[in-house]
Structure 1
C-alpha cells in the first residue's frame, strides 16, 4: 500500500466571533433606525447574555484540546474530538486511569526511545485481538499525543525486520506493518506517520483533519 506524502494537520483555532457579523449589522441598524437608549441597553444586555457570557463561564471549545490527566500529563488530540480525551466515535479514552497509570509508569522506568528525546508507547487495548494503541509522549512538556487510530495489530512475524511497529530514536517516522482499526474499519498494509512535535502527518486516517 502506498503512503500519502506528509500533509501536516492541526486543530483549527478559529475564533467564534471573528466571523460573526451580527454586532456590526446591529450597530448599523441602530444608526439607521435611531433606536432609543433604553432599547439599546436592553439589546446590549441580551447580546451579552446570549453570546459573551457562555464562553466566559463554560470555556471555549479550544480548551478541550488539552485535557489534564492525573500525574501532570495532558492529552493533546489534534484531530476531531468530542471531549479532548478520545477521537470522535473512538471507544478509547486516553484520559482514563488505566492509560494514565501505564503512560506514567513507562516514562518513569524507561529511557526515551523516539526521536528528540520523546517516548513512543504502545498500550494494550483488546488483548484477545492483539490490538494496541500508540501515543507519543513529551515528558518535558507533559504532553501525550495519541496516534490518530483506534488500535493496531502487528502482522505475523512482527519481530522480524520490516514487519510490525517500525521506528527509531533518530527519525520522526512511525510505520505500522499489519492492521489498523480506525472508525470501525480495519485496514491491512503498511501505514507510515510522521510526528512534527505537535501533531501527525503522512498516512491520513478518518481522525485527521
Structure 2
C-alpha cells in the first residue's frame, strides 16, 4: 500500500489531468482484486468442506466396520460355545451334516465344470479359423477361472469356519487321532479343488465316526 501511495505521488501530475479515468481504472483494479480474493477464499472454503465431508465419511465407514467386526466376533463366539458344549451325539450330527453339505457343494460345482468342459469341446470343434479357436479357448479359460474363484469363495463363506471349529474340537477330544493326510490342516484352510473338498469331508466324517458316543 505504501508503494502505491509513492507511485501516485510521483505520477500525480498525470493523474490530476485525467482524474475520472484514473478512478475508473482504480475501481476496475480493486474489483478484480476483490473477485480474485473471493474466488480464492471460496475455493479454499470448498476444499475445506470437501475435506471435512471426506473425513466424516471415513469416520462413519470406520464405525460401521467396527460394528460389523463386533457382530462377526459375537457370532463366532456363540458358534464356538455351541460346539464346545455339544455332547458326542450332537457333535457327530453337526459334523455329518457339514460333511453332507460339503459333498453336495463339491458335486454341484463338479457338474458345472463338466458342463463347461463339454461346451468348450463343442465350441472348439465348430471353430474353423485359428482366430476363432484362440477366442474360444480364451473365453472358456476365463470361464473356468471364474467358476474356480466362485467355488473357493463359497467354500470359505459357507464351510471354512465350521469345518475348522469341528476339526479342532474333535482333536481336543481325541488327542491320539492321526489324520490320513499329513497336509489336511492346510486343506481345511484352502482346499482349492475337489480333492481338497473331499479330503476335508472325509477327515471330518472319520473323526465323527471314531469318537465314542
Q: How does the TM-score come out when normalised to structure 1? A: 0.27
Q: How does the TM-score come out when normalised to structure 2? A: 0.26
* Larger of the two Rg values belongs to structure: 2
Q: Which has the higher strand share?
A: 1
The structure whose RCO (Cα within 8 Å, separation 6+) is larger is 2
